[in-house]
Amino acid sequence: MVSKNSDKSNEPWLDERTRRRVASAGQGIDVASQRADDLDERCLAFLDARFAQSPATRPSALDLACGRGGQTLRMVACGALVTAVDRHDHGADIQRALTGRPIQPPIFIQADMRALPKALPHAPYDAIICQRAIHYLRYSEAVTAVHAWTHYLKPGGRVFLSASGLGSELGRRYPHKDRPIVERFAYLAPDMAHRHAIQQPVCLYEAMDIVDLLHAAGLGIVDVFLSPFGNVKSIAFI
């Protein structure tokens, strides 16, 4: 299913006058630390529903490429047991954000989402979320990575995955715009790279590219939709 949907905000971080939290190593803006978008909210609603189905068991969630832990902390606040993973050490950032909050802290693990430890705390998970990161991998790497994630997912669980869109403004003068997804991996045009703080090559996606990725990784599709900005968001299952 491919549909259009709206983010709850008007992408306020795109305004250069606002305060923007830059992610590590030139990997864009840490949007999750500022707000929850539609995919974040749908993940939280899914975890709430899993909790309601089995009140004696807290749901578990894996936040991949978690950044400073915006979505991690939202999932903890809704009662989930959360493992947060990022290749950069954001453990201290997450701990600072928890100061004074009487909730069970998430477990932070510094690791690459392409090479996760065989054993992860709280696995298998009800929900795995990875926002605004898969486009930093070549398509073949992305398929391999997402397939590996399925081994950590509970039956009936969901994968919540998003990628920067080829139809977004990031695609303006993108040098690989006309290449097939398997060959698409390049730096953004200089003005777009500066505007969005993305200084690494990316593979930009169209909606059907995400569908193909999820199918290649052995997942079924619940929904695929576009944000008003043109990014591609998806929900999948085993």
Q: Over the stretch 168-190, which tens digit does the pLDDT of each residue have?
A: 999 999 999 999 999 999 999 99
The model's confidence at residue 20, banded by pLDDT at 50, 70 and 90, is: low
Number of domains in the chain: 1
pLDDT at residue 101 in the model: 66
Residue 232 in any domain: the answer is: yes
Residue 89 in any domain: the answer is: no
Residue 93 in any domain: the answer is: no
> To which H or E segment does residue 211 belong?
helix 207-216
Residue 33: is its pLDDT beyond 90?
no
Residue 69: is its pLDDT beyond 50?
yes
Residue 82 in any domain: the answer is: no
Q: What is the CATH number of the domain that holds 208?
A: 3.40.50
Which residues are CB-neighbours of 85 under 8 A, at least 6 positions away?
62, 63, 64, 65, 66, 108, 109, 110, 111, 113, 116, 120
pLDDT at residue 21 in the model: 59
* Of residues 25 and 42, more confidently modeled: 42
Residue 40 in any domain: the answer is: yes
pLDDT at residue 36 in the model: 87
pLDDT at residue 217 in the model: 98
Residue 29 in any domain: the answer is: yes
Phi, then psi, of 119 in degrees rounded to 5: -110, 125
User: How far is Cα 140 from Cα 101, in angstroms, rounded to an integer?
Assistant: 41
Expressed as residue numbers, the domain containing 188 is 2-54+124-237
The model's confidence at residue 34, banded by pLDDT at 50, 70 and 90, is: confident
Residue 18 in any domain: the answer is: yes
User: How far is Cα 211 from Cα 207, in angstroms, rounded to an integer?
Assistant: 7
Residue 10: is its pLDDT beyond 70?
no
Report the mean per-residue pLDDT for the chain. 89
Residue 91 in any domain: the answer is: no
Which amino acid belongs to residue 160? F
Pairing of strands 81-86, 107-110: parallel
pLDDT at residue 83 in the model: 97
The pLDDT tens digits for 121-179 are 999 999 999 999 999 999 999 999 999 999 999 999 999 999 999 999 999 999 999 99
In the three-class reduction of DSSP (H, G, I as helix; E, B as strand; rest coil), residue 22 is classed as strand
What pTM was estimated for this model as a whole?
0.88
pLDDT at residue 18 in the model: 40
User: How far is Cα 154 from Cα 132, in angstroms, rounded to an integer?
Assistant: 23
pLDDT at residue 104 in the model: 78
Among the listed residues 202, 85, 188, the one whose alpha carbon sits nearest the alpha carbon of residue 142: 202
The pLDDT tens digits for 72-128 are 999 999 999 999 999 988 777 788 777 666 677 899 999 999 999 999 999 999 999
Strand ranges inside the chain, DSSP E: 2-4, 60-64, 81-86, 107-110, 125-130, 153-163, 220-226, 232-237
